[in-house]
Structure 1
């Protein structure tokens, strides 16, 4: 139920009491609709560009927050304990539909914008909303720490660059271990402490070439993939024995 509520919050962006002005529109696009992942992929940055089609009100300026969310999957966070010299699993917490990537980029610190208390801009609040186990709050921060260590959760207070009073850009880092799938980027524009516009763009991370074929076979036909892997291992071992036989 909490997962459904979270998705509704993100989808409809019920972030503050103010209503979005119908007179302000923002358009956003990206530099790479498809990020191709090959065997030598070491990461890449996708640049998002946006422009607000209406100048800011007199005496005010626009502030922009961009949230990028990757494909979701379930996670289990386990606590490790040492007992009798052995490292064993202890308590655990299950999280449903955790984004494989969750980046928050803003033109100014969220505290200055008065947005730090909003759950959509807080990775720890996100983890709490996705946690299935009610009585395991200590694991929320640990999930965020693990995801940040893998480059999958990030918060950048100066990640959005205002190119002019109405134009902005943001570089979204895609790590080498990025999950394949559709990534959703949504920009929220604020003026005078009120949200005045929002816009959405998408890009896809996709494995290409022979690596994609292998991944597709592994998903669609696991027994065949396992058999071929064993045969390749046996063949490699036999060939090595022949080549280096004395």
Structure 2
């Protein structure tokens, strides 16, 4: 999968998360509540789980994928079931249980447990990435939740789309971050629930994230495999959930 294709798909996924949040406010869909955002977050976690072991070349692909899927989906369910701030207070428990499950997964291996440290650390890292998608649900419940999620999603979509523009050296990340700041600030102002500062800060976070992930993963040989490429597509969207929530928690009252 080409870098441009991955960037477009990431932008599309970010836009879908924004749409999922936006439709929550429609009277005709009021009975669904936050279900569209919850469903989107669970799908993000499962998509991360599907390709993360292949992306990192972990020795026990199936076992690691199951642990990551359970940890990520469990995190979303835990945040959804939590009432009252802070919405992420049950998240450490879920992650701790997933880490224990990662060790159980290693004990169940019948292949001599080669590369044990790589397998455990890679699986735990995947759990953390997948669990970050629960941040979208927490952000949706925050004050000005829809505006927060939509602004973050717009900034992420623009950053992803711009990240593959062929520029030299440091110009590429600078343009990516700049586009995200402008998009986030514009979306925040358009939503009329917070000013340019919050939207711009969201954009800055999204831009830095996309630029960093682009530099880290864009040239990995594992991207020739479809599942690994899918995980790289989903990765910025999953991680952004936690960033959006943190920015909203700090700056939006």
Q: Which has the higher helix share?
A: 2
The structure that has the greater radius of gyration is 1
TM class, shorter-length: under 0.3
Question: Given the two structures, how large is their TM-score scaled by the length of structure 1?
Answer: 0.27
Question: Given the two structures, how large is their TM-score scaled by the length of structure 2?
Answer: 0.27
